[in-house]
Structure 1
Amino acid sequence: MTDPLRTELLDLALEAARRAGALLRDGRPDDLAVARTKSSPIDVVTEMDIAAEKLITGFLAEHRPGDGFLGEEGAASPGSSGVRWVIDPLDGTVNYLYGLPTWSVSIAAERDGETVVGVVAAPMRRETYRAVLGGGAHVTGPDVGERRLSCRPAAPLDQALVSTGFAYVQAVRSHQADVAQRLIPRVRDIRRGGSAAIDLCDVAAGRLDAYYERGLNPWDLAAGDLIAREAGAVTGGRPGEAASGALAIAASPGVFQPLQGLLEEFGAWHD
């Protein structure tokens, strides 16, 4: 990677994710409580989500004061440098609240509207995933070492392991359950991990053949989508569209198109 700016952005994202991950892992109080709710009473924010976002934005602003921010917990500023940070300080908050290990810190850097750097730290896995546009995707950790990521070879759809997620609004998740019920007989099996960023990285790492979800926000997608693409996966939404809140899909080549076709047929893109 020869672009000095991308190198700088990657280094900053890695350090910010490391610091936030350590705060979340080591600072979780035993009596962790819900600070507020979002879309429904079960869509929660904890004090640790808020603290992690403050840590990340403070660190990045200190080093690059002209950059913009878009964060799940309210950070929003346009900036003046052409760089914007898209941040999910705690992806998988309900898992974290319950003491489950599948949660992550997701940080992406956009330059002139294009995602050029993505970092996802999964502290309880002791793994950090990273990608730079055009530079491939990698994972580091004491158990996996340092390796380049590559998605799984194409499999027939009926042999594909697929992950998904569900909204926290009852009417929406009811339809999502109907879609999953129709999809289950057509694939190997379905998983529900609870962190979109980790699911996208698991596609990149070859631990899943595919992942899809409706209702994601830019901070859920930005880093993991780049990591999946740089690992050779195909990402998108409805036919002819990019991944978005309407529908996001990431899959190994060969699985993507037939899965996308079924999801279109089943109406996975609407409530």
Structure 2
Amino acid sequence: MTEPTTAPPEDAEGAEQAENRALLALALEAARRAGALLRDGRPDDLGVAATKTSSIDVVTEMDIAAEKLITGFLSERRPDDGFLGEEGASSEGTSGIRWVIDPLDGTVNYLYGLPTWAVSIAAERDGVRVAGVVEAPMRGETYHAVLGGGAFLGERRLRCRPAAPLEQSLLGTGFAYVQSVRAHQASVVQRLIPLFRDIRRGGSAAIDLCDVAAGRLDAYYERGLNPWDLAAGDLIAREAGAVTGGRAGDPPSRELTIAATPELFGPLQALLEEHGAWHD
């Protein structure tokens, strides 16, 4: 009598990893197309009257158009997947895969003609991020990662910076647009800045997280991020060897997001807790 055979666990793992890479390939192409749309469709004089409603409307229209491009591209190829997007894309799907999309991270930079803006796309399987892309067209850079497969800038594998003491570390952060919240965030920075080499504010959470992965920042933290702001960048940072989290024992969240070299994560988390960086 022939015994029934079952695939060994490693075969299932291999199939899952192959699907993750297929998801990454789709995310790379969708991000490339959306990045080109945003780069080539931006009027040259958009930032001249940056306070005018008409200028803001153009940015919103580009944001929505980029998200529609991404969701349309992915839906054609994977119609059973779900979506969560900054501009309203939301569906559960039936495949267990959900795409988390920020079509334009760094909208104020985009409005003013600054290069630090990006398209961020992550794929989650049953709530676990398995592939992520951050496309920064004006920097000519594409960051990407697959769970368990490392993080890359183009073809170059990324590693976060080697250990450095607090006073020799470069820290990134961001600020909310609500004035009362910004005032508290500024008071936290005031306490932190004497302890670090310096502090940077880039204006795109997705790129800040990738800069930790690439060793351009030793650490980064921010309060107020949404899932689409951090989904791809968090995976890329972790796959580059960084530690990410929120308050002690918590994952990155709207309350607090931290990414840092392994040696710096604990001390930074303790400082942020001490100074109340997790509340307004």
* TM-score category of the 2 structures, normalised to the smaller one: over 0.9
Q: Which has the larger radius of gyration?
A: 2
Q: Structure 2 residue aligned with 1:71, among 79, 82, 85?
A: 85
- Deviation per residue, 1:49-101 (Å, 9 max, x gap): 11100100000001000000000011011111100000000000000000000
CA deviation after TM superposition for structure 1 residue 46, in Å = 2.0
2:18 match: 4
Superposition pairs of residues 150-189 of structure 1, within 5 angstroms: 150-189=159-198
CA deviation after TM superposition for structure 1 residue 31, in Å = 5.0
Superposition pairs of residues 58-137 of structure 1, within 5 angstroms: 58-137=72-151
Q: Which runs of 4+ in 1 moved over 6 A?
A: none
**Is the CA contact 1:153–1:253 (under 8 Å) kept in the aligned structure 2?**
no
- Deviation per residue, 1:199-234 (Å, 9 max, x gap): 000000000000000000000010000000000000
**Is the CA contact 1:86–1:110 (under 8 Å) kept in the aligned structure 2?**
yes
| CA distance, structure 2, for counterparts of residue 188 and residue 106 of structure 1 | 29
2:243 match: 234
Unaligned ranges ≥5, structure 1:
37-44, 141-145
1:213 match: 222
**Is the CA contact 1:234–1:252 (under 8 Å) kept in the aligned structure 2?**
yes
Q: What is the TM-score normalised by the length of structure 2? A: 0.90
Query: What's the secondary structure of 1:254's corresponding residue?
Result: helix
State yes or no: 1:35 paired with 2:57.
yes
CA deviation after TM superposition for structure 1 residue 27, in Å = 1.1
| CA distance, structure 2, for counterparts of residue 184 and residue 53 of structure 1 | 37
Decide which structure has greater helix share. Answer: 2
Unaligned ranges ≥5, structure 2:
1-12, 47-54
2:39 match: 25
Q: What is the TM-score normalised by the length of structure 1? A: 0.93
CA deviation after TM superposition for structure 1 residue 154, in Å = 1.1
